[in-house]
Amino acid sequence: MITSFHPPIRTLMGPGPSDVSPRVLEAMARPTIGHLDPEFVRMMDEIKELLKKAFKTENELTMPVSAPGSAGMEACFVNLVEPGDKVIVCQNGVFGGRMKENVERAGGEAVMVMDAWGSAVSLDKVAAAFDAHPDAAILAFVHAETSTGVSSDAKALCALAQERGALTIVDAVTSLGGTELRVDEWGIDAIYSGTQKCLSCAPGISPISLSAKAVDKVKNRTASVQSWFLDTNLVMGYWGGEGKRAYHHTAPVNALYALHESLVILHEEGIEKSWQRHAFHHQALKAGLEAMGIGFLVDEANRLPQLNSVIIPEGVDDAKVRSTLLSEYGLEIGAGLGDLAGKVWRIGLMGSSANRRNVTLCLSALESTLL
Ligand code: PLP
Ligand 1 atom with minimal separation from the 204 CA:
15
Please count the other Cβ atoms lying within 10 Å of the Cβ belonging to residue 131. 9
Residue 135: CB partners within 8 Å, gap ≥ 6? Answer: 86
Going edge to edge, which strands form the sheet with 11-13?
Answer: 11-13, 331-335, 344-348, 307-311
> 340 near 325, Cβ under 8 Å?
no
Ligand 1 atom with minimal separation from the 71 CA:
16
Helix residue ranges, H only, 14-166: 22-28, 38-55, 69-80, 94-105, 123-132, 154-163
Q: Identify the pLDDT of residue 243.
A: 61
Q: Identify the pLDDT of residue 241.
A: 72
Structure confidence by residue, pLDDT tens digits, 249-264? 999 999 999 999 999 9
Q: In angstroms, what is the span from residue 315 Cα to ligand 1's centroid?
A: 31
Structure confidence by residue, pLDDT tens digits, 17-66? 999 999 999 999 999 999 999 999 999 999 999 999 999 999 999 999 99
Structure confidence by residue, pLDDT tens digits, 165-217? 999 999 999 999 999 999 999 999 999 999 999 999 999 999 999 999 999 99
Q: Across all residues in the chain, what is the average pLDDT?
A: 97
Q: In angstroms, what is the span from residue 195 Cα to ligand 1's centroid?
A: 10
> 206 near 193, Cβ under 8 Å?
yes
**Secondary-structure breakdown of the chain: helix, strand, coil percentages, each rounded to the nearest 5:** 45, 15, 40
Q: Identify the pLDDT of residue 244.
A: 75
Q: Is 38 helix (H, G, I), strand (E, B) or coil?
A: helix
Q: List ligand 1's pocket residues with C-beta within 6 A.
A: 16, 68-70, 73, 95, 142, 146, 171, 173-174, 194
Phi, psi of 2 (to 5 degrees): -85, 130
Q: In angstroms, what is the span from residue 146 Cα to ligand 1's centroid?
A: 8
Q: Identify the pLDDT of residue 258.
A: 98
How far is the C-alpha of 117 from the C-alpha of 139, rounded, in Å? 19
Q: Is the pTM here over 0.90, yes or no?
A: yes
Q: In angstroms, what is the span from residue 274 Cα to ligand 1's centroid?
A: 20
Q: What does the pLDDT average to over 153-160?
A: 98
Structure confidence by residue, pLDDT tens digits, 74-104? 999 999 999 999 999 999 999 999 999 999 9
